[in-house]
A = this chain, B = another copy of it.
Amino acid sequence: MAEAEAINIDLEIIVHGAQGRSKPELRLWLRMLSTTKLISQEIRRRLRTEFGATLPQFDLMAQLYREKDGLRLGELSKRTMVTNGNVTGLVERLEADGYVRRVTPDGDRRVTVAKLTDVGTTLFATMAAAHESWLQDMMADADPRMISALWSEIGAVKTSASNHLSGSAYE
C-alpha cells in the first residue's frame, strides 16, 4: 500500500494542464481522482490513529461482517482487491489479534473459511460507525441536497463508463 505513505499532494493541480486547455471530461476526471485520493488518505490516517488499523484490514473485515457464514480466502481476495498472498497474511494477523478465526465447515474438510469472531464483529461495528461519521465530518461544509444529487449524477457517469468499457471481459 504505497499510497498510504505518500505525502498529501494535490494530484489535480499537478496533473492538470498537461495539454493546456482540457476538455470538461478530463477536468472532471482529475477532480474526481484528486478528491477520492484526498478522502482516502484521510480515512487511512484516521484508521491508523484511532484504531491502529489499515485500509486493507478494514475492507477485509467489512466483507466478513456482511457474510456471517464466512468467506474462503480466494473469495476474500476477489472482493477486497487484495492479492491472494496478501489476504493470507492479513487473515493470519487478524486471527492472531483475535478478530478472525478460520473454520472448516461440516462436510467438506478441504475448505477453510474465515469468519469474524464476536470480538471482531464488535470492533468492526465500531470502526464502521466511525468511518461513516468521518465521512459526514469531511462533507459537513457541503449542502446536504447537493450530496444526494451528486450520488445520482455520479451514478450517470458510472453507467456511461460501464457502457464504454473495452476490456476482454466485455468484448
Residues of A within 8 A of B (CB): 2-3, 5-9, 11, 14-15, 17-19, 22-29, 31-36, 38-42, 45-46, 49, 59, 62-63, 65-66, 78-79, 81-83, 86, 125, 128-129, 131-132, 135-144, 146-151, 153-167, 169
16 A-B pairs whose Cβ atoms sit less than 8 Å apart in the complex: A8-B169, A14-B66, A17-B66, A19-B132, A25-B147, A27-B151, A28-B147, A34-B158, A42-B161, A42-B166, A49-B166, A137-B164, A141-B160, A141-B163, A141-B164, A142-B156
Of all chain B residues, the one with the shortest Cβ separation from A151 is B28
Residue numbers in B under 8 Å from A82 (CB-CB): 2
Residue numbers in B under 8 Å from A132 (CB-CB): 19, 22-23, 25-26
Q: Please classify the interface of chain A as helix (H, G, I), strand (E, B), loop, or mixed, using the class held by over half of its residues.
A: helix
Total copies of the chain: 2
Q: A19-B128, A35-B32, A66-B18 are in contact. Are A2 and B154 (CB under 8 A)?
A: no
Residue numbers in B under 8 Å from A27 (CB-CB): 151
A151 touches B2 (CB 8 A): no
Alpha-carbon distance A142/B153, docked complex (angstroms): 9
Residue numbers in B under 8 Å from A62 (CB-CB): 15, 18
A45 touches B166 (CB 8 A): yes
